[in-house]
Amino acid sequence: MKIKSKKWIDREALKKWREEVLKRDHGMCQVCGNKPNKAHVHHIIPRQVKELRYDVMNGITLDFNHHKVGVLSPHLNALWFSSWLKKNKPEQYNYLTRKLREIEKLKKIKG
Ligand SMILES: [Zn+2]
């Protein structure tokens, strides 16, 4: 049996995560409806939070503008993105808020 490295597993899991988010969002930028050739899949909660790293609910499809460079993009304007998400994707917003609370609680227990 070939042993897969941690890095390989992570890369494959992220690839699958990306495909699932794209499929759910029909490859469309969720902010403006644009269907770019190269869609971006954004981690709403940063991927460093490993509990949510491969969670489809933590992904959203965006175009380049609404991902990284636009005045209305999560990387440039976290405050705007947070309220946009709450208003337009309440299910995702509430899920992630709940998950973050749970993660925090577990960390407090573990110390
Ligand atoms: Zn867009």
Rounded to an integer, the average pLDDT of 33-54 is 97
- pLDDT tens-digit series, residues 66-96: 999 999 999 999 999 999 999 999 999 999 9
Say which residues have a Cβ less than 8 Å from residue 74's Cβ, sequence separation at least 6.
Answer: 42, 44, 62, 67, 81
Q: How far is the CA of 46 from the centre of ligand 1 (A)?
A: 20
27 C-alpha vs ligand 1 centroid, how far in Å? Answer: 11
Distance 64 CA to ligand 1 centre (A): 7
At 74 the pLDDT is: 97
What sign does the CA torsion over 50, 54, 57, 62 have? Answer: positive
Element (H, E) at 81: helix 78-88
The model's pLDDT over 3-42, given as tens digits with 9 standing for 90+, comes to: 889 999 999 999 999 999 999 999 999 999 999 999 999 9
